[in-house]
Structure 1
Amino acid sequence: MTSKNLKDPNLAARTNGRNLIAIASGKGGVGKTWLSITLAHALAKTGERVLLFDGDLGLANLDIQLGLMPKHDLGSVISGRLTLNQAVFTFDDGGFDIIAGRSGSGGLANIAPSRLQMLSDDLVLLAAGYDRVVLDLGAGVERTVRQLTHNVGTCFVVATDEPTSLTDAYAFIKLTHMERPTAAIKIIINAANSTREGERTYNTLLKACEGFLKFAPPLMGVVRRDGKVRDTIRAQSPILTRFPNSEAAADVQSIAKKITEN
């Protein structure tokens, strides 16, 4: 994507990261990357200009899930060989842009705080040329993960009904809320047996947040467990392309609709 907006500091100042959505989780294995891809695709289908950013600096895998072999990735940006804008490429099948991480390498996880801050600031400038930017963050509560959330407008915390997922999601919410009390944190329950079961899982997490943090992050949505999700990951194809009428696809599209209507 090329746009004059990418070089317009006035527009960047007005946007100021409000159109950045971070997708986070306390632990791995909750479907965060799949959700990031599907949400970016769903937003693009509404007509928005969307950028999907692989912010998992330790175990980047957006390109793997989509079966892509990008010419450039985030490693080239951090090393100074490319600007962030030069690392952007278009995923034609989904109608959105991507900045890939360096898959198969954990080297970026040890990036210096000052360089990470520069990357975060550059992303805010780049975001001015898009309607929405979705950041697929690494799992956990490490410094690199939390620092990338500092400039985002909204942070979606993804959890499942597994006790370890809820415990780690709570830990992420606690640290993020302590560091940024005004941060817009919302919850997405993934792989729920039903919408009602997902709401029960959310209420468990909500009670912990209200009881210990005096903070009530709202529920953004529930994504039902769907065997077609695994099929699409194996096929390295987006679910909205392969199974657009599946339950999981419909649930993510509902979340995207909420985002665009706000």
Structure 2
Amino acid sequence: MNSPTGREGLILGLASGKGGVGKTVVAIGLAQALAGTGRRVLLADGDLGLANVDVQLGLTPPRDLADVLAGEVPLREAALRHAGGFHVLAGRSGSGALASLGEPWLDRFVALLGEATRDFDIVVLDIGAGVETPSRRLAAACDTLLVVANDEPTSLTDAYAMLKLHGRDAPGADARIVVNAAADLAAGRRTHAVLDRTCRGFLGRGVPLAGVVRRDAKVRDAVRAQVPVLTRHPAAPAAQDLEALARQLFATAPHPAVA
């Protein structure tokens, strides 16, 4: 599996203009769904201000991203294997220290992600919400960026801002929309259509729909239990949608097919 950028694997980023749209839930579910297809997957917590992948998964990692960036431990030792079949590089929960990383540290993080593609087919990067410099820098380093949004006006406005800035930071980059917590699949497609029309009208280009994840009470239950929804409720609508999202991502360009 080759990256469009020449890396051995792919960096698949998930971002959102605002918090509270379920981005981390989607990142975890997508990592597990991709691992279920036989791919080697690393889920990296790139939320430098409010890392919480480990919390949602009920993990207590002895080492984390900060230790790797400081050169205290190599990534392969800091990454924990989860029962869902993927590895996890945790951020530093409860600390905002990484949020103030300067350019040299951000460059090191981006280089680290590239290095990770030697050992993993896909690095799923959960990027912090918002459009501040660290989030934009990490988004620009991704082969594909998935912007997670819901049907709330503030979410759509902030998703548009992220797409606009990402287009400036990484012209021609592959960016797509994931509509989360949709009432149903048709409603999710309508939400995407609103954002797509806005992008076409103001940016001169549309944004493809990567997939729709339906609103599902089983997701809240899984988050409370600190277990991925694909593990706790594999037959739930949201779990089915996350698996469909994983399939769809590799059924369309620019990702090459995997033998």
Tell me the residue number matched to 1:66: 57
In structure 2, the partner of 1:33 is: 24
1:97 aligns to 2:90 (yes or no)? no
Q: Does 1:133 align with 2:128?
A: no
Equivalent residue for 1:122? 112
* Partner residue in 2 for 1:249: 239
Residues 200 and 13 from structure 1, CA distance in 2 versus in 1: closer, same or farther, beyond 3 angstroms? Answer: closer
Q: CA RMSD in A?
A: 1.6
Structure 2 portions without partners, runs of 5+: 253-259
Contact 2:48 2:98 in 1 (8 A): yes
> Are the counterparts in 2 of residues 12 and 128 from structure 1 also a CA contact under 8 Å?
no
Q: CA deviation at 1:59?
A: 0.2
Q: Deviations over 1:139-170 (max 9, x none)?
A: 00010001112221100000000000000000
Q: Please state if 1:86 is matched with 2:80.
A: no
SS in 1 for 2:88: strand
Which of 44, 61, 68 is the aligned partner of 1:77? 68
1:143 pairs, out of 133, 141, 160, with 133
Task: State the 1:27 CA deviation.
Answer: 0.2
The 2-side partners of 1:191 and 1:44 are apart by: 23
**Which deviations, in whole Å up to 9, do the C-alpha atoms of 1:178-234 show, x marking residues without a partner?**
121111000000000011111111111111100000111100011110000000000
| Identity over aligned pairs, percent | 49
2:77 is paired with a residue whose SS is: helix
TM-score, length-normalised on structure 2?
0.93
> TM-score, length-normalised on structure 1?
0.92
SS, match of residue 48 in structure 1: coil
Matched, 1:179 2:169: yes
Secondary structure at 1:157 match in 2: strand
User: Which sections of structure 1, spanning at least 5 residues, go unmatched?
Assistant: 1-10
Provide the C-alpha distance between the structure 1 equivalents of 2:234 and 2:130, rounded to a whole number of angstroms.
30
Residue 50 (structure 1) aligned to one of 41, 52, 57: 41
CA distance in structure 2 between the aligned counterparts of 1:251 and 1:67, rounded to whole angstroms: 23
Determine helix, strand or coil for the equivalent of 2:189.
helix
Deviations 1:59-101 (A, max 9, x none): 000000011101100111233322333321211x101111000
Tell me the distance in 1 between the aligned counterparts of 2:141 and 2:135: 12
Deviations for 1:228-261, whole angstroms, at most 9, x for unmatched residues? 0000000000111110000000001001111233
d(CA) in 2 for partners of 1:13 and 1:237?
33
Distance 1:94 1:163, change over 3 A: same
CA distance in 2, matches of 1:244, 1:192: 18
Identify the range of structure 1 (117-126 vs 32-41) with the bigger mean alpha-carbon deviation.
117-126
SS at 2:219 equivalent? helix
Q: Which amino acid aligns with 1:150?
A: A
Q: Report the residue type matching 2:77 in the other structure.
A: Q
SS in 2 for 1:241: helix
Distance 1:219 1:227, change over 3 A: same
Aligned residue for 1:261, secondary structure, equals coil
Amino acid at match of 1:207: R
Counterpart selection for 1:111 from 101, 124, 127: 101
Greater shift after overlay, 142-151 or 23-32? 142-151
Say whether the 8 Å CA contact 2:9–2:120 is kept in structure 1. Answer: no
Q: Aligned AA for 2:44?
A: F
1:238 match: 228
